[in-house]
Amino acid sequence: MFRIPSTVVPSDRLALSSGRIFLFVVVLLVTACSSLDGERNDSGGNDTSVNEATGISGLSIITPDAISSAVTPTREPTSVTATAPYKPSRTPILKSSRPPASPTPVSTSTETPPPTNTATATIRPSPTIAGKCNDRVPSDDLLTLVTAEYGISADYVPVDLVVLAEFLPLEITRGYETQFRQIAVEPLLLMIGDMLQDGLRPEIISGYRSYSAQAIAWSKWLEREPDRAASISVPAGHSEHQLGNTLDFGSPELAEIIGEDDVDFHTYFYKTGEGEWLNRHAHEYGFTLSYPLDAIEITGFYYEPWHYRYIGVELATQLRDDGISLTQYLLEMFPAPCTP
């Protein structure tokens, strides 16, 4: 029987062949990995083009810090009033048909409460010793007589002033740091809330004005309008604004009515929706028009349809029914408070 002879492979050749096979396998594995890695690069977009979202060139992997610094726009720092005593609600108090005559404002925040009202506000003015008006420091009742003739001391400052921006939105305060007596804040919010519900856009232009601030205003008008200064402003100590319970209201309609872009005060305020509404309803909330039309001989001031003072619902309603001003009432009911 013919037999094919067996091939005998020496052991050293066998080892060499095994080494070549192993090397070949390694080459195949490396090639395969390189191919797979190339596929990952294509799908992952690992290139040096500018990223449209960040505008950063040459970044294949964008860190969170890089995204934050590139995407977040530069903003102007927000102005924060650090001295605000608390963070009140910006929502006006719900409509009420008849606010209380002598309200005690309630905090609208559960954080730090507003300053405690220590004023002893009364409906009737407290007795005072008649001295020089320049030395007159009235009590904090609501009916202090202040006219062009009878003034008060530079030392008088109401004890319960608060900032209205803490209670009302920017559209109403116009960004002014207007101060007002706390005892009158709640009826004011009730009134503003009702005006808003009636579709009006009331503005508050001026509130408490210190003796020194009034002195600056008076000097300004004397310089600019020497012949008309007395009809525009008053000397320090003779303004109801120093009492803290007086406000000047504004209306966005006034500029269109007057035909001027920059106007805050004008007698045509009575033609605006806000002026008409206040004329009809302000007394229901305890506010009275201090300087009515044709009352200059008694008040000493020209008609100011924007100038309202809080005195309580009872007396404000009585004055409206009687058709007289607060000045006339105080002069008729009480003796002269001081000597001019």
The predicted structure's pLDDT at residue 125:
54
Whether residue 107 lies inside any domain: the answer is no
The predicted structure's pLDDT at residue 294:
86
Whether residue 46 lies inside any domain: the answer is no
The predicted structure's pLDDT at residue 286:
98
The predicted structure's pLDDT at residue 128:
52
The predicted structure's pLDDT at residue 251:
94
Whether residue 162 lies inside any domain: the answer is yes
Whether residue 56 lies inside any domain: the answer is no
Whether residue 110 lies inside any domain: the answer is no
Whether residue 333 lies inside any domain: the answer is yes
The predicted structure's pLDDT at residue 58:
32
For residue 310, report the phi and psi dihedrals to the nearest 5 degrees: -85, 125
Domains: count for the chain: 1
The predicted structure's pLDDT at residue 4:
40
Whether residue 37 lies inside any domain: the answer is no
pLDDT in tens, the chain (340 residues): 444 444 444 444 444 444 554 444 444 454 444 444 444 333 343 333 333 333 333 333 333 333 233 333 333 333 323 333 323 334 444 333 333 344 434 333 434 344 444 444 445 554 455 689 999 999 888 999 999 999 999 999 999 999 999 999 999 999 899 999 999 999 999 999 999 999 999 999 999 999 999 999 999 989 988 888 887 788 999 999 999 999 999 999 988 988 888 878 889 999 999 999 999 999 999 999 999 998 888 988 889 999 999 999 999 999 999 999 999 999 999 999 999 8
Residue 28: name the closest of 36, 18, 39, 38 by CA: 36
Domain harbouring 207, CATH code: 3.30.1380.10
For residue 122, count CB atoms less than 10 angstroms from its CB and return exposed for 0-12, middle for 13-18, buried for 19 or more: middle
Q: Which domain holds residue 257?
A: 136-339
The predicted structure's pLDDT at residue 248:
96
d(CA 225, CA 310) in angstroms, rounded, equals 30
The predicted structure's pLDDT at residue 261:
80
